[in-house]
Structure 1
Amino acid sequence: MRKNLNRLYSVCGFAAAFFLASIAMVTIVQIVARQFHVAIETTEVAGFCLAASTFLGLAYTFANGGHVRISLVSQFLPKGAHRIIELWCCSIGIAISGYAAWQMTLFTIQSFDFGDLSPGMVAMPLWIPQSGVAFGLITLTIGIAEQATLIFAGKTAGYEVNVDGTAE
């Protein structure tokens, strides 16, 4: 199960990188087009790519310890108290990201049902970029829940392991 979840996080991480590269590509296209006196509007597309990149990268970054964590107090606590604090933090994270995922998913479904289009020059159905945000939030919630189960089982969470494989 963990192997499949790690694959999911990696796929989301690669998708986030793809959307970051897409921002660069549409920006380059716009710059080159200006040199030929052709106006191409890419701001909206770049914004959609930024949203997808940001939210799709959350779970990958979290599971691999890339998010900023304040462990100034918890690192000096006994192992049992440290574990309780980590579980409490994961519970809060699950609640917040789960609520955001639920609301974003409902919003995406409503945009699809209503046929909402983006207001810019490129009339793109809004559910397309919104689905990347919703999927990223769902994946983040799953990632936090997975890390909480590791902590609950008495194992070291993935975000507490350094790149070289040693615990913090």
Structure 2
Amino acid sequence: MRDWQPFLGLPLWVWLFVFPTCLALYCFWQGPKAANQLQPVWRLLDRVYKASGVLAAIFMVVILLLIIGQMVARWSNMTFPGSTEYAGYSMAATSFFALAYTLTQGGHIRVSVLLNLNEHTKFWLDAVAMLIAAVTATYFARYAIKTNIMSEILNDRTQGQDFVPEWLLTFFAMFASSPAKWGEMWAKTGSEWVYTPVWLPQLPMSIGTILLAIAIWDYLTRLLALRESQIHSEVLE
């Protein structure tokens, strides 16, 4: 398997690194003009980040419900197979879906000792740090997706007692298949419960890291266009 397959005629690394860097340079060059042009995109992305935060909160509630279900099952002398695995998957989904939203709210730890030296170096140090973080997060997202693909190719299954309905796997597989194949896929789908394929709980990791990479590139362009960081930490008293 090649590491950087062509996508729409260009190597993947061009789409992931060169184009976002060119957009960042354009924002630095044009400043307020680029900010006005990108305002609709920024508003849309802010809604996506909030939706991701809502999903993280939902999975946190799912963890609570799973704990309650385990307690009820124990009191009733019943078994709840796979509950520990489901809770682990929900915890991972909570963590990864919250990454982008937490960044926009200033919730990530940022070491700002050097940034606070003076106003002249603050902008440049912040921009360089954001660029390094964007490249790192993009690599993380890319290899998270590659992990998903390899798990599906190997048909890797969980070693626990958790099961999922077969129709759920078909539903998610639709997004990676041509619409012409959807009818055939559903025709082959049964009503059985099967061992959880590893790619399914890995999906939140891939989605969350993609959103994090987009958010960092996004806020890098905002920093360069507006000449001021748009990540503001909440003030706690």
The answer, yes or no, to whether TM exceeds 0.5 is yes
Of 80, 86, 89, which residue of structure 2 is paired with 1:45?
A: 86
Of 80, 83, 93, which residue of structure 1 is paired with 2:123?
A: 83
Contact 1:66 1:159 (8 Å CA) reproduced: no
Deviations 1:51-104 (Å, cap 9, x if unpaired)?
A: 1110110000001111111212312312x3111111111111112211111111
Of 118, 122, 141, which residue of structure 2 is paired with 1:101?
A: 141
Question: Which segments of structure 1 move beyond 6 Å, counting only runs of 4 or more?
Answer: none
Q: TM-score, normalised by structure 1?
A: 0.90
Answer with 117-126 or 5-14: which moved more. 117-126
Distance 1:66 1:133 in 2: 19
**Structure 1's 132 and 73: CA in aligned 2 closer, same or farther, altered over 3 A?**
same
Of 57, 63, 66, which residue of structure 1 is paired with 2:104?
A: 63
**Structure 1's 161 and 47: CA in aligned 2 closer, same or farther, altered over 3 A?**
closer
Q: 1:148 aligns to what?
A: 220
Distance 1:156 1:10 in 2: 22
Provide structure 2 residue ranges, at least 5 long, that are not aligned to the other structure: 1-40, 163-194
Provide structure 1 residue ranges, at least 5 long, that are not aligned to the other structure: 164-168
Contact 2:156 2:198 (8 Å CA) reproduced: yes
Q: TM-score, normalised by structure 2?
A: 0.65
Does residue 10 (structure 1) correspond to residue 82 (structure 2)? The answer is: no
Q: CA deviation at 1:133?
A: 0.5
Q: CA deviation at 1:113?
A: 2.4
Q: Which has the higher strand share?
A: 2
Distance 1:151 1:114 in 2: 42
Deviations 1:108-136 (Å, cap 9, x if unpaired)?
A: 11212222211100121211111111000
- State the secondary structure of the residue aligned to 1:160: coil
Q: CA deviation at 1:162?
A: 4.7
